Every structure is written in structure tokens, then in C-alpha cells.
Structure 1
Amino acid sequence: MADRVRAWRPDVPHLREVLHAEFTEHAYPSHTHGDWAVLLIDAGAVAYDLDRHPHTAEPTTVTLLPPHVPHDGRTAREGRAFRKRVLYLDESWLPHDAIGHSVDRPTVVRPGLAEGVRHVHRALGDGDSFEAESELVRVHDGLREHLHGTPPSTAADAPLARRLRDLLDASVAEGVSLEQASLLLGAHPSHLVRSFSRAYGMAPHRYLTSRRVDLARRMILDGHTVADAAVAAGFHDQAHLTRHFRRILGATPGSFHRA
């Protein structure tokens, strides 16, 4: 089986590169990079030394590799390939003192964290930058709690949640990034996501997606094609609309169009 590698730069704040790879024989020599690496193993396992201490990355865990610290990597099961996905995030994404903590504890076993990383990759595959950014905030909070042992604040901030909802309502099709919302509303993206989720029972990206599905549904019933409605409502393409349309409404956009 030949090695396969795909890498690209998404339009998501702090996210510098995404890598999907499958290796059968390649072994990484000791090296460093200037970014945080959030590693997810989909198949096989990877044995690696981080700062000369041995570790293993498994499919059930998330691995956090810090910037500027030497590490290598190779299959942990001789003769078997490993398949991985990596998010490379700039050095400022986590505080500087997190580097030492992550050297001591690079393996993260937290309920829902691996699934959260998968959600980031799925959103990136859909071309949904806002969903990827929102899910990445949740991953960020989970990793900070793992490294520092302090859960993020859950204090309610209903006025801030309403302001974010108004901002999303005013830009359903064109969208707004959490980084932009953070600057406009004067609050950290993590606080925005937590406050909104607490106030409305769903993350901001879920709310925006539901508003976009509602807009596309009305356009389809008015006679627009599914493809045109998808683009006009802010979806990456028709397939992206169809996935969320079916999830929310239990039917395909085509069934509404035929009706």
C-alpha cells in the first residue's frame, strides 16, 4: 500500500495547517515544529519519543504535541500502517506554560474530546469554517482543562448571548467568524461559545446552521433550485446543505423542491 498524504491551509483563525496521512513504512526522525499539533489516530497506532520519553498514540485518545520540543514517530505495530489526522495551531493558541505540561502529559483521555476533534475535521471537509472554529474552541477548552486541571467558567451571561445571537441573525448567509464576533462584542471566543450554549441550549454554529437551513427551505419552496438555495443560504455546496437539511428536517432538499 502506498503512503498517502493530503495537507492544506484552512481559513480558520489559529489553524495553520491540516494534515491527513497514511503511512506503511515511513518513520519520522526526531524533529520539531513551531506549532501545537493535535493528533488523532484513525487506524493503527504510533509510537513516539517526546523529549526522549516514550509514548504511544492510540485511536481512543488525542495526542497534544507542543511546539519546539523534539519528537519522532513510527508505527507501533510492525508491518501495519497507521492513519492519522493532525491540526497544526499557532504557538499562541495555548499559553506558554502549557508546553511543559504537555511534555509531561501529551496523551489526553477525556470524554468527548476525540469526537470533538473529529467534528473539527468533518467541518473542515464540508468547508464550514464557522463550525470548525466553534468546535475548535471546545477542543481548546478541553485541552486547557487537561493541562491545568481547571474547568472553564460556566457563569451565565445572557446579555452577551443575546448580542451574539443578534449578530448571527444579521449575517445568516454571509456568516461571521468567532474571532470577528470576539472583537465586536469584546469577549473571548471561548466565553462566547459557553455563554451562547448555556443560554440557548446549542452551540453558535448549530444555531447559525439551523437558520441557514430555514432560509434554504423557504427559498426552495419559493421555486429556487437546491443548488442556488444552498449557495444563497451560506452553505459550501449542495451536499453540505443536504447533510444538515436531512439532519434537522428529516428530509432531503430535493423532496421539498419536488413538492
Structure 2
Amino acid sequence: MSAWRPPVPGVAEVFHAHFTDHVYPMHAHATWTLLIVDNGAVRYDLDRHEHGALTDLVTLLPPDVPHNGRSANPADPEGFRKRVLYLDRDSLGTDLIGAAVDQPAFADPLLRHRIHQLHRTLRTPGEELEAESRLTVVRERLRERLAVPALSESSSEPAFPSASASASASAASLLRDLMDSRIVEGVSLEAAAAELHFHPAHLIRSFTREYGMAPHRYLTSRRVDLARGLLLTGMPPARAATASGFWDQSHLARHFKRVVGVSPGRFAVP
């Protein structure tokens, strides 16, 4: 079992657990509970109705609504393995609560895969911008699944300008310039959206459309480029990593090998 609070706006807690005989009593959270099950199955009651969380489903339990939980097959000694994201109530807004009570689980392989990717990213220090981007995409998909307009005027989220070619190019260019000015220290998606006055989802879509890569990929590539120059001056990989904005040497090595094709240690060897 592991639990932690990542430095990603909107995520109150990440919880990974394997239970063989634990039974959750009726309880409620102040947060949204976004659940995927990797092995086994979970049965739970929500609003006096019984539901199941299976390995091919995405489950979204709303805040403030009591629920319980138990293995769907108590005789199975393997129990169940789950991964949970507890999202701040404002991360999705309160307009989804009724829809989530009516339909707390649904089959959506693409959304489940994106949640899996988000969990994997949240485990990696230094990938906060990627995690923010993935969370934004997940939130939009959840709203689409529950048939609530993601960015309408009635939404709790601010609307963004129409995604015309010129508006998209402008948003993309502004975000690129902002990231270029903060390569080492970085910038969160939330901070960029507030500074540039665009919705985070609009920034991601516009940037990806304009440059053919996600914002976090762009920033990582610029950091790799910076690290290359530092390595060529003779700077040790460990120092080059932190000096170019990476969490540590292993963080640099993973991305450097992917972009350049060799490890930082081999790159600067004469």
C-alpha cells in the first residue's frame, strides 16, 4: 500500500492498495474518488444502490455521498488491487455530483488508459507539468462521459476563446515563449493558464496542434538541449541534471536517452 500527495493542483491524494479481506464501512469523502481496479473486483453501495468496480471500468464517486466497499468475491484469497485519485471537489466542480450518483461507473478503455498514464506520471518526481496536462485531459473526458459540457458558460470552469486557427496559434506561441523563459524553473499548467488568460485545456490542445507535441514534451526537450550544452563544457551529469531543470541525474538520464539516443555519461566522452 502507498499513499502520497503530489505537488499537482487538483490532486488531494494518490492511493494504491491491495486488500484481501478489508471491508470499508459506509463513509464519505470531501473529494472526488476516481478509481480503477487492476485485479479482482469491488462491490459498493452508493445512494442505496449496489454497484461494481471491475477491471475494465472507470469509477467516479462524488464528494459528500456515503459509500462502502468490499471484495466482490470474498472467497478469493487474492482480494482486489486498486489505484485511486482523490481529486479536490473544485477540480471537477459540483455540477457533476448528480450525474455521478446516477452513473458512477462506465466502460471507457481510452479514459482508463489515460488514468493509468496519469498514475504512472504521478509516481515520477519532476514530471508535474506532464501530470497536470494528463489530469486536464482526464477531467475533460470525465465531463464528456457524464454529458456535462466541459467549458460552457454554466460550467464552474472559465470559458476560453474559440479554437480558431489564429487563436490557437496565439495561445501556442504565448505558452512556448513562457516556457522558453522558464526552462530551468519550469511553469505549472495552472500558473500558465492564469498568466496567459487561457483555459488549461485550450493551451494543451492549441500547443499540440501548432507544434505537434504536448507542452511537457517541449519543455523536456528544451531541458535536454540545455543539459547537452552543459555536458559539453565538462559539467558532471549530476550537476547538469539539476542545472537544466531535472529532478536528479536519473531523471535526466531517462529523458536524455530517449531524445539523444545515448546516456548523458556516454554523450560527452571524447
Q: TM-score, normalised by structure 2?
A: 0.88
In the alignment, what sits opposite 2:61?
Answer: 65
* Counterpart AA for 2:33: A
Gaps of 5+ in 2: 152-161
**Pick from 223, 235, 244: which aligns with 2:255?**
244
In the alignment, what sits opposite 1:191?
Answer: 202
* Cα distance, 1:37–1:190 mapped onto 2, change above 3 Å: same
In the alignment, what sits opposite 1:19?
Answer: 15
1:146 aligns with 2:157: no
**Pick from 218, 223, 229: which aligns with 1:207?**
218
Runs of 4+ in 1 over 3 A off after TM superposition: 149-156
**Pick from 18, 37, 40: which aligns with 1:41?**
37
1:89 aligns with 2:87: yes
Per the TM alignment, residue 35 of structure 1 is displaced from its structure 2 partner at its CA by 0.4
In the alignment, what sits opposite 2:154?
Answer: none
**Pick from 227, 233, 236: which aligns with 1:222?**
233
In the alignment, what sits opposite 1:180?
Answer: 191
Per the TM alignment, residue 69 of structure 1 is displaced from its structure 2 partner at its CA by 1.0
Q: Retained in 2: the 8 A contact 1:48–1:72?
A: yes
* Cα distance, 1:59–1:210 mapped onto 2, change above 3 Å: farther
In the alignment, what sits opposite 2:119?
Answer: 121
Output the CA distance in 1 between the equivalents of 2:268 and 2:45. 56
* Counterpart AA for 2:63: P
Specify the SS of the correspondent of 2:174.
helix
Q: Retained in 1: the 8 A contact 2:223–2:245?
A: yes
Question: Which shifted more, 177-186 or 106-115?
Answer: 106-115
1:21-53 per-position Cα deviation (integer Å, ceiling 9, x unaligned): 111111111111010111122222212122122
* Cα distance, 1:208–1:57 mapped onto 2, change above 3 Å: same
Please provide the CA RMSD for this pair.
1.8
In the alignment, what sits opposite 1:134?
Answer: 133
* Cα distance, 1:42–1:182 mapped onto 2, change above 3 Å: same
* Cα distance, 1:151–1:201 mapped onto 2, change above 3 Å: farther
Output the CA distance in 2 between the equivalents of 1:246 and 1:131. 18
1:108-129 per-position Cα deviation (integer Å, ceiling 9, x unaligned): 3334222221222222211121
Per the TM alignment, residue 205 of structure 1 is displaced from its structure 2 partner at its CA by 0.9
1:128-157 per-position Cα deviation (integer Å, ceiling 9, x unaligned): 211111110111111111111657775541
Question: Which shifted more, 63-72 or 37-46?
Answer: 37-46
* Counterpart AA for 2:104: P
Specify the SS of the correspondent of 1:148.
coil
Per the TM alignment, residue 248 of structure 1 is displaced from its structure 2 partner at its CA by 2.3
Identity score, percent: 54
Per the TM alignment, residue 175 of structure 1 is displaced from its structure 2 partner at its CA by 0.3
Specify the SS of the correspondent of 1:12.
coil
Per the TM alignment, residue 13 of structure 1 is displaced from its structure 2 partner at its CA by 1.0
Q: Retained in 2: the 8 A contact 1:126–1:236?
A: no
Output the CA distance in 2 between the equivalents of 1:249 and 1:9. 32
Q: Retained in 1: the 8 A contact 2:96–2:148?
A: no
